[in-house]
Amino acid sequence: SKIVPHRGLTLAGGAIHPWKNSSNTALQSRLLRFANKHNISVDIPWMDLDTRDRERILLHSEPGYSAVIPWFKLLERKRHKMHVRVLLSRYRSQFLCQTCSGGRLRPEALCFRIGGWSLAEVWDSPIYLVSQWLVETQTAFEEILKESQDLQAVFARLTSRLNYLLELGLPYITLGRPSRTLSGGETQRVNLTTALGSELVSTHFVLDEPSVGLHPRDTERLLRAIRKLQQSGNTVTVVEHDLECIEGADRVLELGPEAGTNGGQVIYSGEVEKWPGIAEREAFFAPRNVPSVFPLVLSLRNANARNLKNLNVDIPVGFFTTLTGVSGSGKSTLVTEELLQRWSHYTQTQEQRDTNGFEHFHNVLLVDQSGLTKSPRANIATYSGIWDIFRNEFAATAEAEQRSLTKSSFSFNVEGGRCTNCKGAGYLREDMQFLSDVYVQCEECLGKRFQAKVLEVPYRDKNISQWLS
């Protein structure tokens, strides 16, 4: 439709759009000569031309005439030139695959369904619908689950991960959503889901403004998730401005009083209820059983990075501490350039430089708004570990065993089952140099990522592409 956007035009009137401009008059002249040679009318509308004549013009080259489609393919060899890439981008389009309907997998894999859903349908559905489907499936297979502890464990892990995403206010995203499309707040909440699902203990989690991008009604969900992380035997430190998040902590450490050179000092360190910033709202606070003296603390001494004024800071071990203050007061500096740098030094040398308390932790993890992973193929399912569970289930189906397909066959990151043309991406990237890259759907798998033999395997009435979608 982009090559011939106006089907009412004639060949002489410029029906072939890329050849109607002044820079391609030679190509237009060759087209008219080709048409006259083969008795193709140049004076009737394109829509009225015989189908075979239109195919000749578009597809069949001969000496003295390069057909339209082969001409575009020749231009592909000159993609290193910027103006060629710009021209090509004007006539490219992405279309929904008619074979898989966007499911990414081959028809064979799309045939497999569990509970009426294929893998592509799970992949493309919002998390809240996937969670409902999982509950219904567990009910339907209740008797089978009673007889298999392994299957119970699989469902428990899936349910746990999905519930974390729901609790953090992400019911609307799909499992197949590319990680590059997530906002900073969404990315951090997915990171937090991974931390919650990891079942780590004796770990110090540092969260950099986890409420960013959150609607106020979802803040309570976030706090419940953070509290669950802390109650699992971990220490949580949150850099935060949100008052509700500060109120939910066990201890507040405020830096200030201003930003830049006027910041970097400890303004307050103590119980939330006595923090001047919310003292006037004590009537609304829920009672907490928080000790005034903490038995174990992580002590940072002489913190002086950037604008910090030789701070001495104590962070209670096993409690929820909020680090707050105005923008630029030194909160992130204290965390990234003091706490994390000192932890790195400690892990390499076992020496606690101006620090005491690292021996209480197995690890110190920073959960911030950076991308989930450097791999452009990463998505919610692969990063959270859910995808491995689905791949195991697909590989265990009778149809997969009949086709000698293993777990790796259902991965778009390794050879064996992924599309050989796009390497499992589902699209091909067209480099536009100084312009944004253009992504074109893979012509071989039509965006399904996998080979036909993989797409033929269903799991709960859906193939792997449908689950991804």
Predicted confidence at residue 76, as pLDDT, reads 87
Q: Are residues 261 and 344 in the same domain?
A: yes
Predicted confidence at residue 244, as pLDDT, reads 86
Q: Are residues 217 and 318 in the same domain?
A: yes
Average pLDDT, the chain: 87
Predicted confidence at residue 369, as pLDDT, reads 67
Domain presence at residue 79: no
Q: Are residues 345 and 417 in the same domain?
A: no
Q: Residue 430's domain is classified under what CATH number?
A: 1.20.1580.10
Predicted confidence at residue 265, as pLDDT, reads 93
- pLDDT digit string (tens) for 164-188? 888 887 888 899 888 877 766 677 7
Percentage of the residues of the chain whose pLDDT score is greater than 90: 43
Q: What share of the chain is helix, strand, coil (3-state, %, to 5)?
A: 45, 15, 40
- pLDDT digit string (tens) for 185-209? 677 778 888 888 878 889 999 988 8
- pLDDT digit string (tens) for 211-264? 876 767 778 888 888 998 899 999 999 999 888 889 899 999 999 988 888 899
Predicted confidence at residue 307, as pLDDT, reads 84
Domain presence at residue 81: no
Mean pLDDT, residues 285-304 taken together: 84
Domain presence at residue 322: yes
Model confidence at 145, pLDDT cuts 50, 70, 90, reads confident
pLDDT at 376 over 70: no
Predicted confidence at residue 427, as pLDDT, reads 87
Contact 372, 191 (CB under 8 A): yes
Predicted confidence at residue 436, as pLDDT, reads 66
Q: Are residues 363 and 381 in the same domain?
A: no
Predicted confidence at residue 188, as pLDDT, reads 75
Contact 426, 455 (CB under 8 A): no
Domain presence at residue 193: no
- pLDDT digit string (tens) for 410-423? 998 889 999 999 99
pLDDT at 286 over 70: no
Percentage of the residues of the chain whose pLDDT score is greater than 70: 92
Contact 193, 384 (CB under 8 A): yes
Contact 299, 359 (CB under 8 A): no
Q: Are residues 338 and 464 in the same domain?
A: no
Q: Are residues 253 and 352 in the same domain?
A: yes
Edge-to-edge order in the sheet of strand 355-356: 311-316, 297-303, 355-356
Global pTM exceeds 0.85: no
Q: Which of 107-116, 157-166, 372-381 has the lowest mean pLDDT?
A: 372-381
Q: Which has the closest alpha carbon to 445: 433, 466, 427?
A: 427
Mean pLDDT, residues 75-80 taken together: 84
- Count Cβ atoms within 10 A of the Cβ of residue 439 and give its class: 0-12 exposed, 13-18 middle, 19 or more buried: middle
Q: Are residues 418 and 287 in the same domain?
A: no
Q: Are residues 149 and 207 in the same domain?
A: no
Looking at 345, 367, 389, the residue that finishes a domain is 367
- Count Cβ atoms within 10 A of the Cβ of residue 43 and give its class: 0-12 exposed, 13-18 middle, 19 or more buried: exposed
Predicted confidence at residue 312, as pLDDT, reads 95
Q: Are residues 212 and 346 in the same domain?
A: yes
pLDDT at 314 over 60: yes
Model confidence at 282, pLDDT cuts 50, 70, 90, reads low
Number of domains comprising the chain: 2
Q: Are residues 346 and 419 in the same domain?
A: no
Looking at 340, 367, 394, the residue that finishes a domain is 367
Predicted confidence at residue 274, as pLDDT, reads 87
Q: Are residues 316 and 415 in the same domain?
A: no
Domain presence at residue 41: no
Q: Which has the closest alpha carbon to 361: 409, 399, 308, 317?
A: 317
Mean pLDDT, residues 94-119 taken together: 87
pLDDT at 397 over 90: yes
Predicted confidence at residue 327, as pLDDT, reads 52
pLDDT at 10 over 80: yes
Domain presence at residue 82: no
Predicted confidence at residue 177, as pLDDT, reads 85
| DSSP one-letter string for 375-442 | -TT-BHHHHHTHHHHHHHHHHTSHHHHHTT--GGGG-SSSTTTB-TTTTTSSEEEE--TTS--EEEE-
Give me the helices (H) in 168-288, please. 184-197, 216-231, 243-247
Domain presence at residue 6: no
Mean pLDDT, residues 258-274 taken together: 90
Looking at 367, 390, 410, the residue that finishes a domain is 367
Domain presence at residue 36: no
Q: Are residues 335 and 388 in the same domain?
A: no
Domain that holds residue 428: 112-159+376-468
